[in-house]
Structures are given as C-alpha cells and as structure tokens.
Amino acid sequence: MINILNKSNFVFKNQLNKYEGKVRDVYTLDNNILVMIASDRISAFDVVMPKGITYKGQVLNQIAVEMLNKTNDIVPNWLISNPDPNVSIGKKCNPIKVEMVIRGYLSGHAFREYNSGKREICGNKMQNGMKENDKFKFPIITPTTKANQGLHDQDINPTQIIKQKLLSKEDYDKICEISLSLYKRGSEIANKQGLILVDTKYEFGHDQSGTITLIDEIHTPDSSRYFYFDSYEELQEKGLKQKQLSKEFFREWLMLNNFRGLKNQLIPEINEDVISMVSKRYIELYEKLLGKRFLEPKNKNITDRIQKNLTNYLV
C-alpha cells in the first residue's frame, strides 16, 4: 500500500551511512547531520511486526516535533527542522547507553514486576498493597540499558550505571533532574488536554561540544502511556481497566493472541481490521494530546512526497 511506509531507500547528498531501527530509518550525512524518517512499522516486545500501521509514522513524528519544541527551554535537543510529516532533520549526537524511564503510576512493566512479587525496581522501593495503575507518591526513575537491535532492554539501577561507567555520577544526577522536569512538563501538557502522562522514556546523547542533548522522540504513544483524566479515579476505585491511549493496548492484543516475543512464538495475523483499529488509536491520541485535527496528507504516496519535500537534501 502506498499510504504505508514500511521501508525507505533514499540516497542523500554527502550520505555516510544508513541505520534501520525498529521504527525509524536514520541516515547520517556529513557535518553531523541526521535525517530521521519515521516509518509506519510497529514493534512490541522488541519485535518488529510484519505489517505497518497507516499514518503511524506521521503521528509519531509530528507529536515528537511539537513536544521537542515545547521542552527546548528545559534541555537542548537534536531537532533542526521538520520538512515532511514523516521526517525530522537534526544534529548527530553520541548516544548515552541508558534510557531514562519515568513512571508516575504502577503500570505496564512496573506492574508486571510488582505482580510477580518484586517490591523493588531499579533501586526504587514499592510499597505493599498497591493495585495496578495506582499512582506513586512521587514519580520514580527506572533506567534501562539501551540494547542492540533485536535484544531486550534491561532494567539497571543507578549504582550499576555508575559502576559500569555508562555515566558519571554527575551526569547521571543531571539527567535524572532533566528527566523529571521533562516529565513534569509533559504531565502539564497532558493534563490540559484531559490526559494523564502515566509513564514515558527519554534518551540523551552528547553533542559535538559535549553538551547533554535530548535525542529521539518524546511523549509519543510509542514512548509513553496515557490515561484519560476524567475517568481515572472512578475506574481505579472500581478496580476496572483504565481507558488508555498508548501502545500498551497493542501489546495486550498480542498477549491475548499468545505472543509475548518469546522464542518460537508466532506473531498473530495482523489483518486490515487490526491495522485500522491501531491506526485510529494513534490518530485519536494525536488529536487528543495536541488539541487539533489530524490532517491526512493530500499526497498519500509517502515515498514520492518525501522525495519532493527533501529535494535539497537528495542526490
């Protein structure tokens, strides 16, 4: 389908290399410039699914661009320009091999760990008697190692981070402070739109001058979990599932169909109905979070559109 971008094969002026991530194709040019193309691929349990989701790349890229622009007073970020709905251009940084996961609520991975009997995650103590999706007294930071492609990220505590020299204590403390400030800003933006930012992750790098820089995407449905603010308390009191906008619903669909990314498990069929369902949820989050209507591009041939919008960069 021309309106789903599963793979890109552009050749840019002064291109040095190309890297295909789970979702994004990243082209490195000279002068430390990156061209990042958000595909419509979707991953879960660190497995890229065989079919893409209509408009997913556009949703992710446009939310990320807006959120980066709304937080650049807190920390410098990598973004330079956004010439196409699926494309961001920015400065290349040296990635820090630690992802900063901020959790305001006992949800997702944290709840699965808690439900297995654990009462500590990444050095954070969790009190007894909590229910799924209960709010923590204060947001907690549960860092993970940034795994190589195809491998699972692993929880890591601050002592291990410093001992393994992934970060100095000074830089780790600084990144923690920045991450909490970003989470606070993200929560404020979400609350104004009737949403709760449940948890999210941030990735950082050092730019060419050594400055700590926010990289990748932020506050998107791939990197974050959102609940509806107006129904949260009632659903929690009744012990009912929270209505949420995030990729967790897709993970849950996979688990219901006996897939958790484990060895020898088969990916369930992702038919047109599933693609449509997931696409609608991504668009719903876009419109709810940004408070504006999602606009479908007139040119639905994504490759052709990108080719025209990046003429100055292409060979």
CATH number, domain of 198, equals 3.30.470.20
Residue pair 73/208 in contact (Cβ under 8 Å)? The answer is: no
The separation between the first and the last C-alpha atoms of the chain, rounded to the nearest angstrom, is: 26
Domain count, the chain: 2
Residues 6+ apart with CB under 8 A from 113: 121
Structure tokens given for 92: 């290349």
Residues 224, 122 within the same domain: yes
Residues 112, 231 within the same domain: yes
Structure tokens given for 40: 């419509």
Q: What is residue 147's predicted lDDT score, i.e. its pLDDT?
A: 60
Q: What is the mean pLDDT of the chain?
A: 92
Model confidence over 208-263: pLDDT tens digits?
A: 999 999 999 999 988 899 999 999 999 999 999 998 877 778 888 999 999 999 98
For 277, the domain range is 15-93+272-309
Q: What is residue 150's predicted lDDT score, i.e. its pLDDT?
A: 47
- Domain membership flag for residue 314: no
Smallest CA-to-CA distance from 125 within 138, 112, 144 is with: 138
For residues 66 and 50, what is the distance between their CA atoms, to the nearest angstrom? 29
Least confident of 237-251, 262-276, 290-304: 237-251
Residues 80, 107 within the same domain: no
Residues 6+ apart with CB under 8 A from 205: 78, 93, 94, 95, 96, 212, 213, 215
Residues 99, 224 within the same domain: yes
Q: What is residue 142's predicted lDDT score, i.e. its pLDDT?
A: 96
Residues 6+ apart with CB under 8 A from 308: 299
Is residue 122 pLDDT above 60, yes or no?
yes
CA 182 to chain CA centroid, nearest Å? 14
Q: For residue 148, name the pLDDT band (cuts at 50, 70, 90).
A: low
Is residue 1 pLDDT above 60, yes or no?
no
Residues 220, 294 within the same domain: no
Cα four-point dihedral sign 290, 250, 139, 191: positive
Residues 100, 242 within the same domain: yes
- Domain membership flag for residue 239: yes
Tally Cβ neighbours within 10 Å of residue 163.
9
Residue pair 196/232 in contact (Cβ under 8 Å)? The answer is: yes
- Domain membership flag for residue 299: yes
Phi, psi of 87, rounded to the nearest 5 degrees: -125, 135
Is residue 315 pLDDT above 80, yes or no?
no
Residues 200, 103 within the same domain: yes
Residues 89, 211 within the same domain: no
Q: What is residue 2's predicted lDDT score, i.e. its pLDDT?
A: 62
> Which of helix, strand or coil describes residue 69?
helix
CATH number, domain of 304, equals 3.30.200.20
User: Strand 195-206 relative to strand 47-48: parallel, antiparallel, unpaired?
Assistant: unpaired
Residues 113, 100 within the same domain: yes
Task: Return the amino acid letter for 161.
Answer: I
- Domain membership flag for residue 85: yes
Mean pLDDT of all residues in 297-302? 87
CA 287 to chain CA centroid, nearest Å? 17
